[in-house]
Amino acid sequence: MSTSRSTQTMPAWRQQRYGEADTVTLESAPVPTPARGQVLLRLRATGLNNGDTRVMRGEPLLVRLAFGVRRPRQPVRGMDAAATVVAVGEGVTGVAVGDEVVGELPGGGLARYALAPAERLVRRPDSLDPVLAAALPVAGGTAWQALEKAGVAAAGTGDRPRVLVIGASGGVGTFAVQLAAQRGADVWALCGERNRTLVESLGAARTFDYRRVQPGAPELGDGAFDAVLDIAGTAPLRVLRRLVRDGGRVVLVSGEGGRALGPIGRLLRAALLSFGAKRPLVPLTARPRPDVLAELMALAAGGELHPVIARVAPFADAADALAEVAEGHVAGKVVVLAD
């Protein structure tokens, strides 16, 4: 950084319009100044998510209501950050300059510096590598909240539930399998053939190739599960519902839909099908949960949770890394180094 705040610039991957990864280009941008309640972070590593690519494309169009109608209001993608605090705004307590932190940002992570609301940040344990830490917030937090909604509690608090994870090899799925197994669940999983060994190594007792065995296939059985986490979002709702026993739950983490409204139609149908039902379909909208992130980091630092890192990309390759995530076939996480 240069000395005068107004002339400080940094490299940042920015987009001026919605589109594919070729709309994201490396530019020089002003270093932002933290407002009240915010901190300025010097990034170390940024984990990418499917959500970054939805905002990048502005699809479904509904996301533009939240992120900018004509162009993304925040031009820099990247939500999951491991970073050093370099400045704090007014009213910030509990976080100080020099702290090593991790958190879910409202975007801005594919740059040298980014702003974050102070209350979203959690101290990174010294023993946890920044790359592993940056893989945790959105995907790990979503997996955790999905298990909460499914009623899959901590190990030793009841019978051994059988849980089906559909879409087990991606960012969310690789955490969901591990966390469910750790809670004592009998985990079954649908993933691509090439990822079955990986998913079994994470704790799944049985795996199936999703291109051959789909929800509704006899291998999975009717009413065979206490909970289903639908992370792939492609199976018909009536079929998903039949998978769980009476009193069981299907948590809808994802849902494919039209270009305009995305999963809205599916969610409305889920609400109708769940009215008074014994096998409800429960949508999940995960939110930033620093309390959960702290638990995830403690597990990862203790070697009880292993973020699956598909690729660590140098900063210069950030747009290629976004393109790879946008294709939807990453096993685990892609993390971009800040420099």
Ligand X SMILES: NC(=O)c1ccc[n+]([C@@H]2O[C@H](COP(=O)([O-])OP(=O)(O)OC[C@H]3O[C@@H](n4cnc5c(N)ncnc54)[C@H](OP(=O)(O)O)[C@@H]3O)[C@@H](O)[C@H]2O)c1
Question: Residue 123 or residue 306: which is nearer to ligand X going by CB?
Answer: 306
Chosen residue from 173, 215, 248, 262 binding ligand X by CB under 6 A:
173
List Cα–Cα distances, 121 to 116, 269, 294, 304, in angstroms: 8, 36, 9, 22
Q: How far apart are CA 243 and CA 241, in angstroms?
A: 5
Question: Residue 58 or residue 171: which is nearer to ligand X going by CB?
Answer: 171
Task: Count residues near ligand X (CB under 6 A).
Answer: 32
**Interface segment toward ligand X; rule CB under 6 A; list 25-33, 102-110, 149-157, 187-195:** 187-195
**Interface segment toward ligand X; rule CB under 6 A; list 4-12, 34-42, 61-69, 184-192:** 184-192
Chosen residue from 142, 178, 207, 274 binding ligand X by CB under 6 A:
142
Question: Residue 88 or residue 163: which is nearer to ligand X going by CB?
Answer: 163
Chosen residue from 5, 17, 278, 329 binding ligand X by CB under 6 A:
329
List Cα–Cα distances, 42 to 6, 85, 87, 96, in angstroms: 17, 6, 9, 13
Closest-CA residue to 248 (of 226, 271, 229): 226
Is residue 292 a contact residue for ligand X (CB under 6 A)? no
Is residue 172 a contact residue for ligand X (CB under 6 A)? yes
Q: Is 212 left (phi over 0), alpha (psi -120 to 50) or beta?
A: alpha
Burial profile 139-169: b = 16 or more Cβ within 10 angstroms, e = fewer: bbbbbbbbbebbebeeeeeeeebbbbbbbbb
Is residue 51 a contact residue for ligand X (CB under 6 A)? yes
**Interface segment toward ligand X; rule CB under 6 A; list 9-17, 100-108, 113-121, 279-287:** 279-287
Q: Minimal distance in Å, beta carbon 215 to ligand X? A: 9
Q: Minimal distance in Å, beta carbon 254 to ligand X? A: 3
Cβ proximity of 198 and 169 under 8 Å:
yes
Q: Minimal distance in Å, beta carbon 79 to ligand X? A: 10
Question: Residue 123 or residue 311: which is nearer to ligand X going by CB?
Answer: 311
Is residue 190 a contact residue for ligand X (CB under 6 A)? yes
Chosen residue from 88, 102, 135, 139 binding ligand X by CB under 6 A:
139
How many Cβ atoms are within 10 Å of 19's Cβ, its own excluded? 14
**Residues of span 205-264 touching ligand X by CB under 6 A:** 210, 231-234, 253-254
Is residue 267 a contact residue for ligand X (CB under 6 A)? no
Find out whether the peptide bond into 307 is cis, omega within 30 degrees of 0.
no
Question: Residue 161 or residue 170: which is nearer to ligand X going by CB?
Answer: 170
Is residue 192 a contact residue for ligand X (CB under 6 A)? yes
Cβ proximity of 158 and 171 under 8 Å:
no
SS3 label, residue 92: coil
Is residue 171 a contact residue for ligand X (CB under 6 A)? yes
Is residue 285 a contact residue for ligand X (CB under 6 A)? yes
Q: How far apart are CA 169 and CA 6, in angstroms?
A: 45
Closest-CA residue to 137 (of 148, 149, 124): 124
What residues contact 65, with CB distance under 8 A and at least 6 apart?
Answer: none
What values do phi and psi take at 90, rounded to 5? -60, 145
Site residues (CB under 6 A) for ligand X?
Answer: 49-51, 138-139, 142, 166-167, 169-173, 190-192, 195, 210, 231-234, 253-254, 284-286, 325, 328-331
